[in-house]
Amino acid sequence: MSTLVVHIPARQRLRSSSHGAPSAEGSGLATEYPFATSPDGLALETQGQCAASLLPKATTVIAVLSDADVSWHRITLPRAPGARLRAALDGVLEEALLEDADDVHLALAPAALPGQPTWVAAVSRRWLRAELAALEKAEVFVDRVVPMAWPDDPPIGHFAETPMDASGPNGMAHGVALNWAHADGVASVRLQGGLARALVPHPAPPETRWSATPGAVAAAEAWVGAPVRVMQPAQRLLQAGRSLWNLRQFELARRTRGGRALADSARRFFSREWAPVRFGLAALVLAQIIGLNLWAWHQRSAIEARQAALRDLVKATYPNVSPLDVQRDAEAVMQRESQALRTLAGKPGDTDLEPMLQAAASAWPADRPAVDTLRFEPGRLTLSAPGWSPEQVDQFRSVLRPGGWQVEAAEGRLVLSRAALTAGRS
């Protein structure tokens, strides 16, 4: 399953100018996003930086937040219903949050249990919502939002280049910052000064995992006093993407409905990982079509064989009949010739008046008077039956039904006909 990991650049904040007055670094959302793609979430496939509309397509999209954009709080998870859990978290963290609770988005650690200690990640809600909306506007639908680093044990120390103020003609230089993620939280500090030394135990735990970007590896090894693993920013993105964290919770939980759900399903179905399923379905449909055509050909052959046998029978039984009539409708020719022979022999057919009168008489209720009027046409006998109750009509119909007769009752009349004949007419 192809994965696209997008780094949302750090939220712009106020910084101090060289004259001591605060100035803004800028405003608005990110215009370009560093990214990394992977066919399986492990191996790095491509990397780069581009506008949101130019980001590669992938089955799964993961957004990674910068180290400085997430604050961490250790609490005991309150026992509250799901609908009230967010409000309960606001009450627990009211004193710890630096911003108003309505301006902060909160997310719980994976597998957090009520009544147990857990970590809560806090992010600017307005900023994160705006970034996700900007990506979605470019048709980049984020499945998960994860932090770049999270409280972990054994500790992780990552060194990276970071911009810093300088008094030179360029006005800006680069320093090195340490991101220290350990069991008690996450902190990002610059190596300049003594804060980093105060933050990291000396000596550091032997199982600490050290890494650095290529531009910061020299400073990192000098600070640690040991070799440090070189990690490209894209590799760190993939590492963050494998996190179990997902900050899309509560009001930012992903909702896929209607056309969005259909688009997501179609995108997954047509991904490379679903290719075997698509091939299997195509083969199944093709097999069904071939099977149906073979069955239809077999049935058509059987019908044609029966029709040919019927035509041969009619020709052998009635040699004087025109072959053209037999070819056109052998069944009608047989019925016509059989009726003609029956008439010559003086025997009534099933749809003649006498058999129909006999059938009606055999089912006529004993408490009903003789019929007043009747009307006959070939295969159809209409009898007057005024004053009949529904029960009498049902009894009359049920007696004649086993003999293949059909009875229709309407406006004081009973219409008797052959069931097969009526079905054929309809």
Is 18 contained in some domain? yes
Is 8 contained in some domain? yes
pLDDT band at 261 (very low <50, low <70, confident <90, very high): low
pLDDT per residue over 368-413, tens digit each? 888 888 888 878 889 888 888 888 889 988 988 888 889 888 888 8
Under 8 Å between Cβ of 247 and 65: yes
What is the sign of the dihedral through the CA atoms of 209, 212, 218 and 219? negative
Q: Please report, for the domain that includes residue 78, its CATH number.
A: 3.30.420.380
Which tokens sit at 400? 């004649």
Q: Give the residue numbers spanning the domain of 361.
A: 348-425
Under 8 Å between Cβ of 145 and 248: yes
Is 237 contained in some domain? no
Is 10 contained in some domain? yes
Task: Indicate whether 404 and 260 sit together in one domain.
Answer: no
pTM (predicted TM-score): 0.58
* Residue type at position 225: G
pLDDT per residue over 81-121, tens digit each? 878 888 888 888 877 776 677 788 999 999 889 999 999 99
Task: Indicate whether 303 and 415 sit together in one domain.
Answer: no
The answer to which of 31-40, 153-162, 314-323 has the lowest mean pLDDT is: 314-323
Q: How far apart are CA 165 and CA 173, in angstroms?
A: 6
Q: How far apart are CA 135 and CA 382, in angstroms?
A: 78
Tokens 């009509």 appear where?
393
> In terms of Cα–Cα distance, which of 390, 371, 391, 393 is closest to 382?
371
Tokens 């406006």 appear where?
411
For the stretch 49-53, contacts whose Cβ atoms lie closer than 8 Å and that sit 24 or more positions apart, written own/partner, are 51/138, 52/134, 52/135, 52/137, 52/138, 52/140, 53/138, 53/139
Q: How far apart are CA 220 and CA 191, in angstroms?
A: 9
pLDDT per residue over 219-229, tens digit each? 999 999 999 99
Is 360 contained in some domain? yes
Task: Indicate whether 135 and 160 sit together in one domain.
Answer: no
Task: Indicate whether 322 and 223 sit together in one domain.
Answer: no
Is 259 contained in some domain? yes
Task: State how many domains the chain has.
Answer: 4
Looking at residue 13, its pLDDT comes to: 62
Task: Indicate whether 374 and 302 sit together in one domain.
Answer: no
Say whether pLDDT at 278 is over 90: no
pLDDT band at 235 (very low <50, low <70, confident <90, very high): very high
Tell me the CA end-to-end span of the chain in Å, nearest whole number: 58
Q: Identify which has the larger pLDDT, 157 or 310.
A: 157
Is 235 contained in some domain? no
Task: Indicate whether 155 and 145 sit together in one domain.
Answer: no
Please count the other Cβ atoms lying within 10 Å of the Cβ belonging to residue 352: 17
What is the sign of the dihedral through the CA atoms of 25, 26, 27 and 31? negative
Q: How far apart are CA 136 and CA 126, in angstroms?
A: 15
Q: Tell me the sheet residues that pair with 47.
A: 36
Looking at residue 16, its pLDDT comes to: 45
pLDDT per residue over 185-211, tens digit each? 999 999 888 888 888 988 888 899 999
